[in-house]
Amino acid sequence: MASEYDADVIVVGSGALGSNAAFELARQGRSVIILEAGEHIPRWKIVENFRTSPRKDNFNDPYPNQPWAMTSFTPGYIDNTGSFDLLPGMLKLVGGTTWHWGGATWRYLPNDMKLNSVYGVGRDWPIGYDELEPWYVRAEYALGVAGSDTDDQSGQGGAAFPPRSRPYPVPPEADTYYFQRLRDRIGSDYHFIHEPNARTNQPWDGRPACSGNNNCMPVCPIGALYCGEVHARHAVEAGARLLTNATAYRLETGPDKRIVAVHYRSSRGDDVRLTARYFVIAAHGLETPKLLLLSEVANSSDQVGRNLMDHSGIGLQFLADEPLWPGRGQIQQGGIFNWRDGEFRRRHAAIKHTPTNKVPNEAVTRRLLQAGVTSPELDRRIRHDSARWVDISTVFEMLPHAGNRVGFHPHRKDALGIPTLRVNYDVDDYVKAAREVALADYRVFVQRMGGEVVTDDTGWQNRDHLMGSVIMGHDPKDSVVNGECRCWDHSNLFLATTGVIPAAGVINPTLTGVALSLRIADTIAREI
């Protein structure tokens, strides 16, 4: 018997979140269509684009930036009206933005999820840590996360925390010399915590072990770093249909407020309407609210696109008094978590400092050339400075504010005639108060490493962690989705995006997004 629907479930977006939801639904026997705005490009092609790129520091340069699948890197695609230019890394191809990411796969702490109840600021999650924990485990096993089962990830130097029902699937990788030396010299009262990460260090799900190419961004040349493309392929193998060059631009509502169809467009001129019982929008933290706003759905609370949060950050670069050999091994290994949780959160944002372990030669050389250093001194200095370069990347916990928002641009459009993005973003006082604390830490780091400061005043920086834009909550009046990530206004519309996260903490939100997506898949599978 032919179904009256094109599929049981349509998933919009083939990134890590959409692909995991799609695979789980297909695995459980549901018919699934995945819509992807970009194309399916094999890894070797991206690697070729990178190898032959003259702009190796531009993380988007190896990826096609088609006028019909524009990304944040297209000048003008995101029009900023606030005091801060929010320009997060964003890719449109099968696998999504996890083609280039740091691979950090932290869990939130129980207190992160009840920020308001415990510290009286921001919002609470409508679900608790214990409720999400089983899906954290599944997400970690899907991604092959390497992590420490003994660290206190709350950064207080205590016993293993937060609680977990299963060990990490992969043990942590060995510490790099850079990380060891920084910890040895700075770490007496600063707690260095190993960063759980999706760079598997033993073969996992067809992926090889990380070999320290130090190239997670812009592309892992061997596919050790997890990419959503893995589960897009698994979903297809499990029977899902993956449609590429298919940009969803409208969700159609039926008489009973259920979503009945999604409309997509391609660069070939197709304009297609597809029907399904359920819809999962996994189209990125900025594009998901844009699609809802364009479709005039899910917004009875007027919160769609509001409460936008990034972990707006700052950075510190200095030259240590000894060679540390940054760039050997993984691009990042952990961080200093003293300010992850505590009473201070009543007054200022939580803080995470991460020593970045990227190969620094380019930044070093650029700086020396700007200072007018020439050969033969230039060669000597490149060697000298590259060995001693320390880069600390700091992130802060933002709070949700209705005025920080994303929407569609009133008149700018992409090649398909779909409006581009407009963002208004200001860094709040909660973060600004924490900046002073971070700068005090910087002075200690530099002093303990005998450092010569390159810069300790970078200004606010993008951290590409988009949250809050389709906020989750207890109350349909002030939130877009409930604790299941189901839209209050439409019982068959789920949002699989980190945009649902209502309290940002200081950790990279991708793992939480995948856990929520797997939970969405289970919820839908129960109802179909």
Stretch near other proteins under the rule CB under 8 A, chosen from 37-45, 325-333, 359-367, 491-499: 37-45
Active-site annotation holds for 194: no
Which of the residues 77 through 136 are near other proteins (CB under 8 A)?
93
CA distance 470 to 308: 8
At residue 378, φ and ψ (nearest 5 deg) are -60, -50
Stretch near other proteins under the rule CB under 8 A, chosen from 144-152, 199-207, 350-358, 385-393: 199-207
Among 43, 263, 381, 384, binds other proteins (CB under 8 A): 43
CA distance 446 to 478: 44
Q: How far is the CB of 331 from other proteins (least distance, A)?
A: 16
CA distance 520 to 473: 16
Q: How far is the CB of 203 from other proteins (least distance, A)?
A: 3
* Minimum CB distance to other proteins smaller for 71 or for 317: 71
Based on the shown chain and the rule CB under 8 A, indicate whether residue 58 belongs to the binding site for other proteins.
Answer: no
CA distance 266 to 248: 9
Q: Would you say 140 and 147 are in contact if contact means Cβ atoms under 8 Å apart?
A: yes
Q: How far is the CB of 394 from other proteins (least distance, A)?
A: 32
Q: Would you say 181 and 338 are in contact if contact means Cβ atoms under 8 Å apart?
A: no
Number of C-beta neighbours around residue 459 at 10 A? 8
Q: Which of 490, 493, 466, 497 is nearest to 476 (CA)?
A: 490
Strand order in the sheet with 419-424: 78-80, 419-424, 405-413
Among 28, 80, 116, 202, binds other proteins (CB under 8 A): 202
Which of the residues 210 through 249 are near other proteins (CB under 8 A)?
211, 213, 221-223, 233
Stretch near other proteins under the rule CB under 8 A, chosen from 10-18, 207-215, 320-328, 464-472: 207-215
Among 118, 127, 209, 294, binds other proteins (CB under 8 A): 209
Based on the shown chain and the rule CB under 8 A, indicate whether residue 206 belongs to the binding site for other proteins.
Answer: yes
Task: Please write down the HEC assignment for all residues of 396-459.
Answer: ECCCCCCCCEEEEEEEEECCCCCEEEEEECCCCHHHHHHHHHHHHHHHHHHHHCCCEEEECCCC
Among 66, 105, 154, 508, binds other proteins (CB under 8 A): 66
Which of the residues 280 through 339 are near other proteins (CB under 8 A)?
none
- Residue from 100, 348, 353, 465 carrying the catalytic annotation: 465
Q: Which residue has the tokens 């200690």?
A: 444
Residue 48 CB contacts under 8 Å (≥ 6 apart), including other chains: none
Q: How far is the CB of 176 from other proteins (least distance, A)?
A: 18
Based on the shown chain and the rule CB under 8 A, indicate whether residue 49 belongs to the binding site for other proteins.
Answer: yes
Q: 280 forms bridges with which residues in the sheet?
A: 11, 494
Based on the shown chain and the rule CB under 8 A, indicate whether residue 41 belongs to the binding site for other proteins.
Answer: yes
Q: Around 491, how many Cα atoms within 13 Å sit in the side-chain half-sphere?
A: 5
Among 2, 4, 54, 75, binds other proteins (CB under 8 A): 54
Q: How far is the CB of 343 from other proteins (least distance, A)?
A: 46
| Residues tagged active-site | 465
Residues that bind other proteins (CB under 8 A): 39, 41-45, 47-49, 51-54, 61-67, 93, 202-203, 206-209, 211, 213, 221-223, 233
